[in-house]
Structure 1
Amino acid sequence: MCGIFCSFVKGSAVCDSINKCRSSLQKRGPDIGSTCQIKVNDYTALFSGNILWIQGERPTNQPYVDDKGNILLWNGDAYSWNVTVNASIKDSDTKIISDFLCYEGNMELLMTSVQGPYSIIYYDYEQQVLWVGRDPIGRVSLLWYLGADKLIVTSVGHKDIPDLKEVPAVGLFKFNLSEGQLKPQLFQWSHTRFDCDYNIINELQYFKQIRTHHITNPEDSILNENNQFNMATLLLHQEFSTNITNLIDHLLQSVEKRTTIIPKACKLCEFKCDHAKIAILFSGGIDSAILALLASKYIESDEPIDLLNVSFERQSNPNNFDCPDRQTCLSTLEELKILCPTRQWNLIKIDVPYTELQQKRFDTIRHLIYPLNTILDDSLGCSLWFASRGLGICDGKWYKTPARVLLSGMGADELLGGYTRYRKILQRHGWQSLNEEFDKDFSKIPSRNLGRDNRVCCDNGRQLRTPYLDENVVEFVRGLSPWQRFVYNQLNSHEMDL
């Protein structure tokens, strides 16, 4: 993951906001970084990048300036392309993207073809155009400030930079700097519905099979055959069994990409090593347990997998770190040991004293969750920050994970009906309302969850990867009817997801 920053300020002064978030940008990209400054008509432009090396033979410095003077800041993982690119296995995403844009020049074509999470800032020197955008699911943070005479775009902010907002993950934004004003035009993803004041130039198609039509009452045999569902019975049903098989196939491919496209060295080593390179945010719930099981299929057999579980001290009960998540993760760990007996599983118990929580919350975490500021944002931000730091007790000794990559189950609840309120909505309002709630929740996660979580986790210099939010997984699950995603037992008021 990278920390990227860009500013355009009318006049000769350089934007000083970078000084407020420079430390956070460097933590996101601890391996290499640089800054460049240019003049564009009446504007002074600053580009800065800090890199965490994940792909390619070696780190590629950013800002990446090509032979024509175009400037690229890229923060993401490109797992595949639906266009022909001139690429070698030794090349980083940054070089591949820069070369394509330099010689092909079609930003819309490239960004609709990339599969993987990203945020991008690109300055086209000849056209005097600035492009800004996030991937269609919004998995990577990008914030901006839009003023009459100043534009700031940054991976991470600071509470002392007022009026920062999440860049909406609804398309690509284009600034024509030759026109003398900082007003974006929007090339909108066709699957989004976004009320805005931006001038929408065109629609870009990305997802092709997302259901948007009206949901009628189901006449599905899964629902009609038996109300007293259990998994063994459901797996005998052809449609349900096929859906399970397809979902597992998509998840396997997603996990494979996210566990094999990494350097052979951990954060502590320069060359290939047998230390843990993958860590999993591990509550012990079904989403993280599945990720651990699938990841074990692709990670080299002699490498450990680090499982990160966090618990907080309560003021009312000092020195007690026993909580439901800790008990669940211990139970799930025993299941993993049975299923994968030759794998070394490192459970890292991350016990956070109350005083340390308060200190890190004030010094660091409140700036990372900004511009979000609710109690829930603070609570989740604290949990993710300490978990992703990866410092705790493993087998009775202090241990800090050397993993470059974190796997997280983010998105599983929104896709597969993991929240208890979904059951209540179905009980009270039916399948159409449940389907609308699924759509509403998924449309909100770029601004409500994903940007915040990306900022918090990557502050510890690790790449956050979210297999449930792979494009193919998302398209498959959201293409199902709601009763295929969420099977409800009317007799026992119990829900089961896929």
Structure 2
Amino acid sequence: MCGIALILSGVRIIGSEVFGESSGARCSDSEEVPGAVLEIDDLIDSLLRRGPDNLGSKRIFLQLKPSSFQDDYGSKGNGICIPLEHCDVNNTTSVLKAVCAQDDAGGVKSVADLYFLGATLQLRGAGPISQPLVDTCGNLLVYNGEIFGGVHVDADSNDAETLLHELERCYSCNCQGHGKNCSCSGKGERSIPEVLSTIKGPWSLIYWQERSKTIWFGRDAFGRRSLLVHWPTNDDSRFVLSSVSPPSSVGNIYGSVAGDTFSYWEELPCGIYSINLEASKSREHSIHENLNGKIEKHEWTDAELIKIIKWERAFLDPKLVEVHLYNYQHVVKQCALAYSVGDMGDHVNKQTESAYKVLNVLRQSVMQHTALSMVYQASLRQAGEKDLAPIAILFSGGLDSMILAALLDQCIDSSYTIDLLNVSFDGNLAPDRVSAWVGIRELRRIAPLRRWRLVEIDASLSDLALETKHVMSLIHPLKTYMDLNIGTALWLAAGGDGWVDENINPNCREGHCRYKYKSKARILLVGSGADEQCAGYGRHRTKYRAGGWLALHNEMRLDMQRIWKRNLGRDDRCISDHGKEARFPFLDEDVIRTLLEIPLWEITNLDEPVGKGDKKILREVAKLLGLESAALLPKRAIQFGSRIARESNRKNFGSNRAANQASAGSVEIHE
């Protein structure tokens, strides 16, 4: 998928103050303010930048009728007509005029406008689709995500179409089947939160349930797909959801009201939300009715999902291991057998058994995240290129990206080339460039039949003035120098525009060639989540030394529970801007569950040196894959490995020392 949006106007939103973080002035009524901050054309342009196969739009208009109005189902409604029409954007003017022409004598003049946008990057399914999707009941869905489990999707089916049909069978009453007097409870149907809670995989969605006049929206439990929200304010009274943050809505990054700062956008917290539209008497004009929308947040219903969201670990402190040791050994051995690890012999210890368990669940995750649909494979064949590279990896040559590369080699056809995207702000001297060359040699050793293509993307901040301004809009509402540095490096890497230096091109003289190359891979594997779950950050070592295993566990849990806000929304927007779809195998639900089942002291041992004890379990996995050199590499964040942080510090603070004294990573950008 690619990107989604909803602009809702003409409705007074009730309850947004509970969920929003912005301190900006909130709007007290639904009256539209001229000169709104967000321009719809800019929103469309930002979605089109993502290179979708198609971009569609539909509009639903709702008008008020007197409360005595009976709907088509024979019961008194809540004062809302069924929608006049599901309209394409070019067909709305006459409909809107017709509705607005009705005066108070004929009902009510007010109109609610629901404007849906859906951009589709066609990667799954047997045939092309166009969003928004509408079913025979008038329900409408825009979906940005994949379904890797929980809801069955046939091999030749599209995820969004499958989900639309699944949601069509859900309760259509406002109580969603959980009310004491609900007549839906005995019908054998599920509620919308029940369906969404079962989905494994990254997603964000907006769904209009026609009969209940309810807007459903949300994002997966870890926030792997971006979904921004604009809560109504006096400056812009519309309620807006969007995968993107157009430059016109960002301005100079933040505004000010009564001395407080606020942003137009906020990251929507992970979860499932609904807005039920209903009519109510206006406070100012008691004889008139207007539309209200009450926002609610719904709990996840899947027990296994709730468990991994809480991120609790049974085996936390090795001092208590005697209590659980027998049960744990039995579980590990059974899992090892279930994954067919072969005859490991008597000398294999628990650590290796755990590593095999992680290896197999990671392999399954990569396989699910890189399965190519018939539509995508057909488009690749039509392109007629000799060296097809449908999948790329954000590649530093470090532990995480090396594991992903080795597993990807095992999961896709050997005829495909794998692009390894490496960005540097210091040419061949950047640490990530050096480790990338070491890494590609090791990959060629363990997988000599695969064509590995290292794409060297060189950049300089002094040459990126316009690009920097654009990346600022992508990382918004984040606005620190650290976020800008990370976002810029990710954005450049995802673009895949660099140089390839290799000695296997027959057209090159003397067996060596360097040529310009731009990766066309539409799927980009990213190692996000590995450090959070396996104690890869320096602060994890600090917490462990100060407070032991419990302090370490709490810090890791905090990282996982805030990763949606600090990392994933930003990363998804920066990568998707190039028409690439970021996928995060380390954040697969089954991978998270598996890592939580393993004792923390087998995940990491921070009494050992850097490059050995940190992320110990993944270093064992690397060794099982034959990656001996990668198993010894220390952790380097992309902003340091690419040396963009050093260049940014010199440019904005004068030197690295001055930047460190100012804690440059957390400093907000004011210009």
- Aligned-CA RMSD value: 2.6
The CA deviation string for residues 249-298 of structure 1, in whole angstroms up to 9 with x for no partner, is 11010011112234215679458975110100000000000000000011
Structure 1 residue 186: Cα displacement: 0.7
- For structure 1, which runs of at least 5 residues remain unmatched after alignment? 191-202, 222-234, 314-319
Q: Which has the higher mean CA deviation after the structures are superposed, 19-28 or 235-244?
A: 235-244
* Partner secondary structure for residue 160 of structure 1: helix
Show the counterpart of 2:49.
27
Q: Which has the higher mean CA deviation after the structures are superposed, 51-60 or 126-135?
A: 51-60
Does the 8 Å contact 1:146/1:182 carry over to 2? no
User: In structure 1, what is the Cα distance between the partners aligned to 2:357 and 2:609?
Assistant: 29
Show the counterpart of 2:69.
none
Which of the numbers 135, 142, 163 marks the counterpart of 1:66?
Answer: 135
Structure 1 residues 291 and 214: CA distance shift in structure 2, 3 A:
closer
Structure 1 residue 463: Cα displacement: 1.1
Show the counterpart of 2:395.
282
1:467 counterpart = 2:609? no
Which of the numbers 256, 261, 273 marks the counterpart of 2:367?
Answer: 256
Which of the numbers 365, 379, 384 marks the counterpart of 2:490?
Answer: 384
Structure 1 residue 184: Cα displacement: 1.6
Q: Which has the higher mean CA deviation after the structures are superposed, 59-68 or 3-12?
A: 3-12
1:360 counterpart = 2:461? no
- Which of the two has greater strand per residue? 1
Structure 1 segments, 4+ long, off by >6 Å, are 11-15
Show the counterpart of 1:138.
223
Show the counterpart of 2:155.
89
Structure 1 residues 425 and 290: CA distance shift in structure 2, 3 A:
same
The residue correspondences of 1:49-128 to structure 2 (distance < 5 A) are 49-82=118-151, 88-105=154-171, 106-128=191-213
Does the 8 Å contact 1:264/1:271 carry over to 2? no
Show the counterpart of 2:415.
302
Show the counterpart of 1:46.
115
Structure 1 residue 18: Cα displacement: 2.5
Structure 1 residue 241: Cα displacement: 1.7
1:156 counterpart = 2:244? yes
Structure 1 residue 48: Cα displacement: 0.8
User: In structure 1, what is the Cα distance between the partners aligned to 2:371 and 2:520?
Assistant: 16
User: In structure 2, what is the Cα distance between the partners aligned to 1:3 and 1:275?
Assistant: 25
Structure 1 residue 373: Cα displacement: 0.6
Which of the numbers 360, 375, 381 marks the counterpart of 2:481?
Answer: 375
* Partner secondary structure for residue 221 of structure 2: coil
Does the 8 Å contact 2:315/2:598 carry over to 1? no
User: In structure 2, what is the Cα distance between the partners aligned to 1:23 and 1:479?
Assistant: 45
Does the 8 Å contact 2:215/2:275 carry over to 1? yes
Q: Which has the higher mean CA deviation after the structures are superposed, 412-421 or 208-217?
A: 208-217
Show the counterpart of 1:232.
none
User: In structure 2, what is the Cα distance between the partners aligned to 1:425 and 1:493?
Assistant: 18
Structure 1 residue 217: Cα displacement: 5.9
Structure 1 residues 212 and 253: CA distance shift in structure 2, 3 A:
closer
* Partner secondary structure for residue 22 of structure 1: helix
Structure 1 residues 397 and 29: CA distance shift in structure 2, 3 A:
closer
Which of the numbers 500, 525, 539 marks the counterpart of 1:421?
Answer: 539
The residue correspondences of 1:193-342 to structure 2 (distance < 5 A) are 206-208=305-307, 210-211=311-312, 215-216=316-317, 218-220=319-321, 238-262=349-373, 263-265=376-378, 269=382, 275-313=388-426, 320-342=427-449
Q: Which has the higher mean CA deviation after the structures are superposed, 427-436 or 96-105?
A: 96-105
User: In structure 1, what is the Cα distance between the partners aligned to 2:404 and 2:243?
Assistant: 27
Structure 2 counterpart of 1:177, one-letter code: L
Structure 1 residue 66: Cα displacement: 1.1
Does the 8 Å contact 1:385/1:457 carry over to 2? yes
Does the 8 Å contact 2:274/2:295 carry over to 1? yes
User: In structure 2, what is the Cα distance between the partners aligned to 1:182 and 1:351?
Assistant: 50
Does the 8 Å contact 2:318/2:601 carry over to 1? no
User: In structure 2, what is the Cα distance between the partners aligned to 1:253 and 1:101?
Assistant: 27
User: In structure 2, what is the Cα distance between the partners aligned to 1:241 and 1:155?
Assistant: 41
Structure 1 residue 49: Cα displacement: 1.0
- Which is higher, the Rg of structure 1 or of structure 2? 2
Which of the numbers 265, 275, 281 marks the counterpart of 1:175?
Answer: 275
User: In structure 2, what is the Cα distance between the partners aligned to 1:112 and 1:286?
Assistant: 32
The residue correspondences of 1:484-495 to structure 2 (distance < 5 A) are 484-489=602-607, 495=613
Structure 1 residue 4: Cα displacement: 0.7
- Which of the two has greater helix per residue? 2
Show the counterpart of 1:18.
40
Q: Which has the higher mean CA deviation after the structures are superposed, 434-443 or 90-99?
A: 90-99
Does the 8 Å contact 2:55/2:130 carry over to 1? yes
The CA deviation string for residues 114-146 of structure 1, in whole angstroms up to 9 with x for no partner, is 111000100111110001110111100000012
Structure 1 residues 173 and 492: CA distance shift in structure 2, 3 A:
closer
Show the counterpart of 2:186.
none
Does the 8 Å contact 1:412/1:418 carry over to 2? yes
Structure 1 residues 441 and 392: CA distance shift in structure 2, 3 A:
same
Does the 8 Å contact 1:368/1:455 carry over to 2? yes
Structure 1 residues 492 and 268: CA distance shift in structure 2, 3 A:
closer
Does the 8 Å contact 1:75/1:119 carry over to 2? yes
Show the counterpart of 2:78.
none
Does the 8 Å contact 2:317/2:600 carry over to 1? no
Does the 8 Å contact 1:390/1:400 carry over to 2? yes
Structure 1 residue 464: Cα displacement: 0.8
User: In structure 2, what is the Cα distance between the partners aligned to 1:273 and 1:391?
Assistant: 19
User: In structure 1, what is the Cα distance between the partners aligned to 2:609 and 2:580?
Assistant: 45
Does the 8 Å contact 1:416/1:486 carry over to 2? yes
The CA deviation string for residues 52-111 of structure 1, in whole angstroms up to 9 with x for no partner, is 1110123210111111111100000111225xx5x5433211111111112344311211
Does the 8 Å contact 1:304/1:343 carry over to 2? yes
Does the 8 Å contact 1:143/1:155 carry over to 2? yes
Does the 8 Å contact 1:267/1:404 carry over to 2? no
Which of the numbers 59, 77, 80 marks the counterpart of 1:37?
Answer: 59
- TM-score, length-normalised on structure 2? 0.65
User: In structure 1, what is the Cα distance between the partners aligned to 2:192 and 2:440?
Assistant: 45
User: In structure 2, what is the Cα distance between the partners aligned to 1:493 and 1:308?
Assistant: 23
User: In structure 2, what is the Cα distance between the partners aligned to 1:43 and 1:425?
Assistant: 52
Which of the numbers 295, 313, 321 marks the counterpart of 1:184?
Answer: 295
Structure 1 residue 212: Cα displacement: 5.9
Does the 8 Å contact 2:141/2:164 carry over to 1? yes
* Partner secondary structure for residue 189 of structure 1: coil
Structure 1 residue 182: Cα displacement: 3.5
User: In structure 2, what is the Cα distance between the partners aligned to 1:274 and 1:376?
Assistant: 36
Structure 1 counterpart of 2:241, one-letter code: V
User: In structure 2, what is the Cα distance between the partners aligned to 1:416 and 1:216?
Assistant: 15
Structure 1 residues 273 and 38: CA distance shift in structure 2, 3 A:
farther
Structure 1 residue 163: Cα displacement: 2.1
Does the 8 Å contact 1:287/1:412 carry over to 2? yes
Structure 1 residues 490 and 327: CA distance shift in structure 2, 3 A:
closer
Structure 2 counterpart of 1:6, one-letter code: L
Does the 8 Å contact 2:278/2:293 carry over to 1? no
Does the 8 Å contact 1:309/1:347 carry over to 2? yes
Does the 8 Å contact 2:317/2:601 carry over to 1? no
User: In structure 2, what is the Cα distance between the partners aligned to 1:288 and 1:217?
Assistant: 30
Percent identity reads: 32
Structure 1 residue 357: Cα displacement: 2.3
- TM-score, length-normalised on structure 1? 0.87
Does the 8 Å contact 1:266/1:276 carry over to 2? no
- For structure 2, which runs of at least 5 residues remain unmatched after alignment? 11-29, 64-110, 172-190, 250-262, 280-290, 323-345, 502-513, 618-671
